[in-house]
Amino acid sequence: MAPLRWGMVGCGEISNDFASCLQSLPREEHQLVAAAASDKEKAKAFANDFGFQKHYGSYAELAADPDVDTVYIGTINPNHYEICKMFLNHNKRILCEKPLTLKLEHTKELIALAEQKKIFFQEAFWSRFFPLYKQLREDIKAKSVGEVKLVTAIFGIKMDENPSAQRLVKKELGGGSLMDIGGYCTQAILLAYGPEMPENVQACAIMNKEGVDQSVTVTLQWKDGRMAQFATTFFAKVPSELKLYGEKGYITVKHPFWSPTDMVVTEVKEIDKDERQQKYNFPLPKVEHKLEYPHGEGMTYEAQEVYQCIQKGLLESPLFTHQESIVLATIEDRIKKAIGLSYDELYVGQGAPTTHPQ
């Protein structure tokens, strides 16, 4: 099979880490062709740093490049919809950072367009491609702790310690804890229960003056009695773990559960007296370039997954399907309505805003 000929859409922090991972992979599978940003000098510096052959000062130029067949979209959240649509209409395969869009109808539209055109299109929930998540899937299927009946997750970061702090709090940049980090909690719940809408969604939030959430707590309930709870916050750095509780024990995915290396499966017969544990550790791959995010090396796994899926002629990864993207976006839509959050004003009478450089 011919190598994937990559274009980078956006040259910010997240794109830095994905390009770092591409650099570490075999050139017969992944080629670094072109990088684009709204600032041409930024694109040039990025291309030189990582060894891309070309650079552009607009995304439209990259979309028109016949030497690029696959793109990674790492721009700010509000831009994803219009950018994905443009690249799909240029018949480029797409790996787009999560959230795929900020609106449920946009997510459905893009997936329908990709399926109609028979183009590989993937939301980049990198968690799903980690070896540990594959092990978690096996333990759930094998009922290592019995039937999972409750899932809990917490994801907390201290906003003022985050390099992307302004992006996190500004509505015009697609900010808010739900859309930035809440999806990691929801995807983990869907891994446990399958891509099925809960019967009941309840949520409350602390909103900022920009009208986006700084903390959210959510309870989900399915008709057969399965439940899940998660919380996200920008107020505090906390041990962000995922727990799945079954009839015979519980599974703990250790911090950081969205890019994990460690998991413990605990069978419980009697509290504090009789426990049996199975511990897993999956070391991260090695990359040479400096990373912006903890465990950024793990993006190697999603790059490999994209290559393997395209090699097999797939249009989506079976590890995170289009159906799951739609169910996740539907749950987020219900949560947004519950807490009074809307991004509709960003799209009134125009496409997605493109004034903020990446």
**pLDDT (tens digit per residue) in 36-52:** 999 999 999 999 999 99
Q: Which residues pair with 122 in a beta bridge?
A: 95
pLDDT of amino acid 1:
80
- Asked if the model's pLDDT at residue 203 lies above 90, the reply is yes
- pTM over 0.85? The answer is yes
Statement: residue 351 has pLDDT above 60? no
Q: Are 214 and 206 in contact (CB under 8 A)?
A: yes
Task: Indicate whether 102 pLDDT > 70.
Answer: yes
Residue 227: pLDDT band with limits 50, 70, 90: very high
Average pLDDT, the chain: 94
Domain boundaries, the chain: 128-280+322-335
In whole angstroms, give the CA distance from residue 263 to residue 134. Answer: 12
Instruction: Inform me whether the pLDDT recorded for 215 exceeds 70.
Output: yes
CA distance 49 to 72: 17
For residue 278, how many other CB atoms are within 10 A of its CB? Answer: 14
d(CA 310, CA 307) in angstroms, rounded, equals 5
| Res 355 pLDDT > 50 | no
Strand boundaries in 254-347, DSSP class E: 262-270, 274-281
Q: Helix or strand or coil: residue 163? A: coil
What's residue 163's pLDDT?
Answer: 58
Structure-block tokens of residue 325: 């993207």
Scanning the structure block, which residue is given the tokens 């552009």? Answer: 56
DSSP-assigned letters across all residues of 101-149? -SSHHHHHHHHHHHHHHT--EEEE-GGGGSHHHHHHHHHHHHTBTBSEE
Tokens representing 117 are 């055109």
Mean pLDDT of 261-289: 89
pLDDT class for 353, splitting at 50, 70, 90? very low
Q: Is 3 helix (H, G, I), strand (E, B) or coil?
A: coil
Please answer whether residues 116 and 311 qualify as being in contact, where contact means their C-beta atoms are separated by less than 8 angstroms. no
- Counting residues of the chain whose pLDDT is more than 70, the rounded percentage is 95
Q: Work out the pLDDT band at 274, boundaries 50, 70, 90.
A: low
Name the least confident of 23-37, 40-54, 77-91, 162-176: 162-176
pLDDT digits (tens, 9 = 90+) for 244-270: 999 999 999 999 999 999 999 999 987
The per-residue pLDDT for range 145-170, each reduced to its tens digit, is 999 999 999 999 987 766 567 788 89
Q: What Cα–Cα distance (Å) separates residue 335 from each residue in 201, 202, 213, 254, 294?
A: 7, 7, 11, 26, 28
Confirm if 80 and 86 have CB atoms less than 8 A apart: no
For residue 326, pLDDT beyond 60? yes
* pLDDT band (50, 70, 90) for residue 228: very high
Q: What are phi and psi of 218, to 5 degrees?
A: -135, 140
Unique residue bearing structure tokens 């808010």:
176
CATH topology of domain 128-280+322-335: Dihydrodipicolinate Reductase; domain 2 (3.30.360)
